[in-house]
Amino acid sequence: MQRIGNLLLIVALLAATGGHFALLQSIAWTSMLAEHLQAESFSQAVTRTFDGRHPCKLCCAIAAAKKSEKKTEFPLATQKIEFPPLAPGLVLYAPAAYQLLASRSAFADSVCVTPPTPPPRSPAA
């Protein structure tokens, strides 16, 4: 069941990113190369296949499908974020006197447990 899910995920990613066009174009080039190899040398067949001047029917159909493919409806327009200017009279000052907190807390002292004196020795020592 997990393999089917993984396969469907791969197919969905390929379709979303236009990978199906790449797959179809690869199939078209392979068939064109095989067709040209029957009548021409290898270098001539490769040149004729990939020069772009001799497209096959599948290549033309792929190009037409790419052109007619619906582009994203939401343009990715970036906007500059601007902050409103501050009021000219707003200035923050530090307080003149600070209230210091008590250094010890009665609650903390009542919960703390002092370590045994002298500290226990480890058995390895």
Domains of the chain, residue spans: 18-68
Residue 28: what pLDDT?
Answer: 93
Residue 85: what pLDDT?
Answer: 76
Give Rg (Cα) of the chain.
37
Beta-strand ranges (E) seen in the chain are none
Nearest-angstrom CA–CA distance, 21 and 68 = 13
Residue with tokens 């020069």: 51
DSSP label at residue 114: P
The pLDDT averaged over each successive group of 10 residues in the chain (125 residues) is 89 84 91 92 91 90 84 69 75 72 68 73 72
Residue 72: what pLDDT?
Answer: 59
